[in-house]
Structure 1
Amino acid sequence: MIETGNSEYARAPGPRGRRTRPRDSLLLSATVQRLGEAEGRTVRVRNLSAIGVMADYDAAITVDEQIVVNIRGLGSVAGRVAWARKGRIGIMFDNEVDPLKARRPIGKGAPPL
């Protein structure tokens, strides 16, 4: 299930970890895998943009740590931890993605975007 809400605004460009692109609020599951870990940790993605995500994450993690996020519709996306606080992390992707792909319906007959 994906819950959506619009967040069609952007903040002025700023230091790393600051919002620079529009992003949509949603709830979906993803996996965050740290380098050297055999398995990833399931997280709940709170919002997604072309350049990153905010997700619930309840373990200690280091800012600027390299990770891989696996998001349905996008696959494995490499990135770095931009910030971490109060059970959430911000991840900045190494390369831009199409966030609409994560919203595609699952199953046969799903219309193409």
Structure 2
Amino acid sequence: MASKLLISDVSVAQGRIPRDRRFQTKVWARVRQPGRAGLTARVSNISRTGCLLECMAALDTDLPLTLKIENSVLLSGTIVWSRVGASGCQFDHRLDDQVLTQLVWPVQSRDIQK
């Protein structure tokens, strides 16, 4: 009996690490980095390992940051790329199911009701 080859198996076999699923969000976060004033950014997508932040300023790469999302979820991470208008954040720890659901579900439930 032949086994099915999954796309993730091919990615690993080719030396690429498969990306975590991204979820579209419409939540706001307060962003803080050492030596900088805090700013507000929109979290436009999120995965278990990181998020895309939209803000008017380019954030400093390779510096730690804290995100306080919707005044309730506190996360830590590092900006891995940045340009004016958007920055990629990698979280220090993978998000668990409860936190990811808390951040994503309200957006998905609004989309379903449309």
Shorter-chain TM-score: what band?
0.5 to 0.7
4+ residue segments displaced more than 3 Å? none
- Go from structure 1 to structure 2 and tell me whether the alpha carbon gap of 1:60 and 1:78 turns closer, same or farther (over 3 Å shift): same
Gaps in structure 2 of 5+ consecutive residues: 1-7, 107-114
Could you give the per-residue CA deviations for residues 49-103 of structure 1, whole angstroms, max 9, x where no partner exists?
1111101122232211110011138621110001112410010000011311213
CA distance in 1, matches of 2:104, 2:27: 9
CA distance in 2, matches of 1:52, 1:73: 18
Q: Which moved more, 1:63-72 or 1:96-105?
A: 96-105
Q: Give aligned-pair identity as a percent.
A: 27
The residue that corresponds to 1:7 in the other structure is none
1:16-27 alignment, distance < 5 Å: 20-27=19-26
Paired AA for residue 102 in structure 1:
L
The residue that corresponds to 1:40 in the other structure is 38
- Normalising by structure 2, we get a TM-score of 0.66
The residue that corresponds to 1:61 in the other structure is 59
Gaps in structure 1 of 5+ consecutive residues: 1-9, 106-113
The SS at the match of 2:102 is helix
The residue that corresponds to 2:90 in the other structure is 92
- Normalising by structure 1, we get a TM-score of 0.67
Structure with greater proportional helix content = 2
Aligned pair 1:28/2:38, yes or no?
no
* Superposed CA RMSD: 2.4
Aligned pairs, number? 90
CA distance in 2, matches of 1:58, 1:101: 26
CA distance in 1, matches of 2:88, 2:82: 6
